[in-house]
């Protein structure tokens, strides 16, 4: 994987560049919204990618709760960080799109509010891991991650079960979209997923190295204490 990583990184960079060109230049302009509609090529793929990495965090956290697997815990924290980044992109691009279309930056709509709550839960998860210590910290973090995952179905299905300001989905929701727009939409989603997976692998390796260093330092401290007696 170490040898393949630079090649995959170059391919992903090329895919991201091509997707950027398709989104900003090649994709047709929406007849009603104009060019502001192009935010959809970043807003929606970021949301789908967010779900992917929060789901990875959920699976890894459950694995840690069941088996106390340290590798699963490392995957969980790495996936949560990436999920929070894409969640932030969703929360930023949403108001940028809403302002010219709805005339407002934000409304306490069930879809918007539940997405913000999801961000707050996983930011809390990262803060817990950053500023807490002790043997029970990974266990508490994993439990919080499982709790946070319960908000994901609410975010996704809210526009089906509640009357919301947020528009209905055009994919899988009975709507329609120009095939050329759908192509660019899916292309950006693929590019974001590939980028996220590369970051996940790098962040996982970094996390494992960090833990090895901490274990080594702890052992050296014990040896120093033993030698001083």
**Per-residue pLDDT tens over the stretch 37-76:** 899 999 999 999 999 999 999 999 999 999 999 999 999 9
Phi then psi for 208, rounded to 5 degrees?
A: -65, -40
The pTM for the full model equals 0.89
Render pLDDT for 112-171 as a digit per residue (tens, 0 to 9): 899 999 999 999 999 999 888 777 898 999 999 999 999 999 888 877 776 666 665 655
| Contact by Cβ (8 Å): 155, 122 | no
CA distance 119 to 186: 24
| Contact by Cβ (8 Å): 34, 199 | no
Q: Which residue has the tokens 């790495």?
A: 78
| pLDDT confidence of residue 226 | 64
Q: Give the CA distances from residue 42 to residues 19, 96, 162, in Å, rounded to whole numbers and listed in that order.
A: 10, 11, 25
Q: Give the per-residue SS3 of 186-213.
A: HHHHHHHHHHHHHHHHHHHHHHHHHHHH
| Contact by Cβ (8 Å): 227, 41 | no
CA distance 104 to 99: 5
| pLDDT confidence of residue 109 | 84
Q: Looking at the chain, how many residues does it have?
A: 229
| Contact by Cβ (8 Å): 64, 76 | yes
Render pLDDT for 178-203 as a digit per residue (tens, 0 to 9): 788 889 999 999 999 999 999 999 99
- The three-class DSSP label of residue 172 is coil
């Amino acid at each position: 994987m170490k040898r393949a990583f630079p090649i995959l990184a170059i391919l992903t960079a090329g895919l991201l560049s091509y997707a950027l060109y398709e989104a900003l230049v090649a994709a047709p302009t929406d007849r009603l919204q104009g060019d502001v509609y192009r935010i959809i090529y970043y807003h929606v793929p970021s949301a789908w990618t967010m779900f992917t990495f929060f789901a990875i965090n959920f699976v890894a956290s459950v694995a840690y709760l069941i088996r106390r697997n340290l590798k699963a815990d490392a995957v969980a924290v790495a996936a949560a960080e990436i999920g929070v980044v894409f969640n932030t992109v969703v929360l930023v691009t949403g108001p940028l799109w809403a302002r010219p279309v709805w005339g407002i930056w934000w409304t306490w709509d069930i879809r918007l509010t539940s997405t913000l709550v999801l961000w707050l839960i996983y930011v809390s998860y990262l803060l817990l891991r950053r500023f807490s210590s002790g043997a029970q910290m990974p266990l508490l973090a994993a439990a919080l991650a499982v709790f946070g995952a319960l908000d994901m179905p609410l975010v996704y299905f809210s526009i089906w079960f509640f009357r919301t300001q947020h528009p209905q989905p055009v994919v899988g929701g009975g709507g329609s979209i120009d095939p050329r727009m759908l192509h660019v939409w899916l292309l950006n989603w693929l590019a974001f997923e590939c980028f996220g997976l590369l970051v996940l692998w790098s962040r996982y390796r970094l996390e494992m190295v960090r833990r090895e260093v901490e274990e080594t330092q702890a052992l050296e401290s014990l040896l120093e204490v033993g030698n001083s007696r």
